[in-house]
Amino acid sequence: MSATPGWCLRLKAQPDFRVDFGGVLPLRLAGMTAAEVARVEVRHGNERLALGELFDIAALDGVAGESAPELRLDGDLSRFDAIGQDLDGGVLHIAGAVGDRLGLSMRGGEIRVQGSAGQLAGCEMAGGLIEVTGDVGDFAAGALPGSMDGMRGGTLIVRGHAGVRCGDRMRRGTVVLHGDAGDFLASRMVAGTIAVAGRVGAHCGYGMRRGTLVFAGPQPVVPPTFVATHQDIVVFWTLLRRSLAYHGGPFAALPPGAPRRLVGDLAAGGKGEWLF
């Protein structure tokens, strides 16, 4: 039997406890039969359940090999954590809300969520694309507790709002926020780019060492540890503006002229930059 192009899992009913969905990935399921997919186990509280007990399973239409393996999840998955953990290829489509740690440590592939995500979305991701049409919780693109490194690459797009500490300890990659950001945006940021179109909470850029923040909407309160500079960044801004315009919305209308530029957090010896 030839491999299917992917699978669609439709949630039967809300589980009693939270489910650790790590390891259920498009590439892993692509070579399986429906019976084999149904037997794949996930952790449910202190027990393990087979996917067939939680989902109705159906093969996707199409011809295998024409595109990357795909996995579609349908239903309210807000009790399902670690969806897309360690993803290294293929496409995950989720129609509904998801739990915490979406795309944890992913290295490639795509995750597209038609809904909101919990805490730690894009946490420590190193590559690939995550797009969330709703909101994300705290520590998006951040680091796990006790870890020194947050997001290390890839792109996180949030059409809604982000919670506190978005981009905490971020080292590389791009975060595009179409909505508001909570307190401590880009706290302890090491490198990378965060563009935000909405309002920003308190203590933005706290402990920021390097990296770039682009404010396409209301300007945040500037702390005294960030100061204005007058360097020529026309070439850099032209390239950055062009890449952000791809994401549409207010980012498509960024002005061609060089923006106002601040650097900091000087209290941490930082060389991060804010672009208004």
Distances (CA, A) of 183 to 170, 200, 210: 15, 7, 19
**269, exposed or middle or buried, with CB in 10 Å at 0-12, 13-18, 19+?**
exposed
Residue range 101-120, pLDDT digits in tens: 999 999 999 999 999 999 99
Residue 237 has pLDDT above 60, yes or no: yes
Domain total of the chain: 2
Peptide bond into 265 cis (omega under 30): yes
In this structure, what token pair is assigned to residue 15?
């589980």
273: helix, coil or strand?
strand
In the structure, what pLDDT confidence band is assigned to residue 3 with cuts at 50, 70 and 90? Answer: low
Statement: the pTM of the whole predicted model exceeds 0.85? yes
**Same domain as 173, residue 65:** no
Domain end position, chosen among 40, 58, 83: 83
**Same domain as 242, residue 128:** yes
In this structure, what token pair is assigned to residue 271?
């060389």
Q: In what helix (H) or strand (E) does residue 195 lie, and over which residues does it extend? A: strand 193-196
> Hey, which of 22-31, 52-61, 92-101, 258-267 has the most confident mean pLDDT?
92-101
In the structure, what pLDDT confidence band is assigned to residue 4 with cuts at 50, 70 and 90? Answer: low
Distance CA 81, CA 20 (A): 5
**Same domain as 167, residue 50:** no
Strand partners of residue 275? 214, 261
Distance CA 23, CA 5 (A): 18
**Same domain as 147, residue 262:** yes
Domain end position, chosen among 83, 99, 128: 83
**Same domain as 165, residue 53:** no
Residue 104, in any domain of the structure: no
- Helix, strand, coil share (%) of the chain residues, nearest 5: 10, 30, 55
| Structural domain for 23, as ranges | 1-83
In this structure, what token pair is assigned to residue 152?
């290390």
Strand partners of residue 162? 136, 181
Residue 244 has pLDDT above 90, yes or no: yes
**Same domain as 122, residue 223:** yes
Residue 169, in any domain of the structure: yes
| Block residue for tokens 């019976």 | 35
Mean pLDDT, residues 117-146 taken together: 97
**Same domain as 133, residue 76:** no
Residue 111, in any domain of the structure: no
94: helix, coil or strand?
strand
Distance CA 193, CA 114 (A): 24
Distance CA 198, CA 191 (A): 21
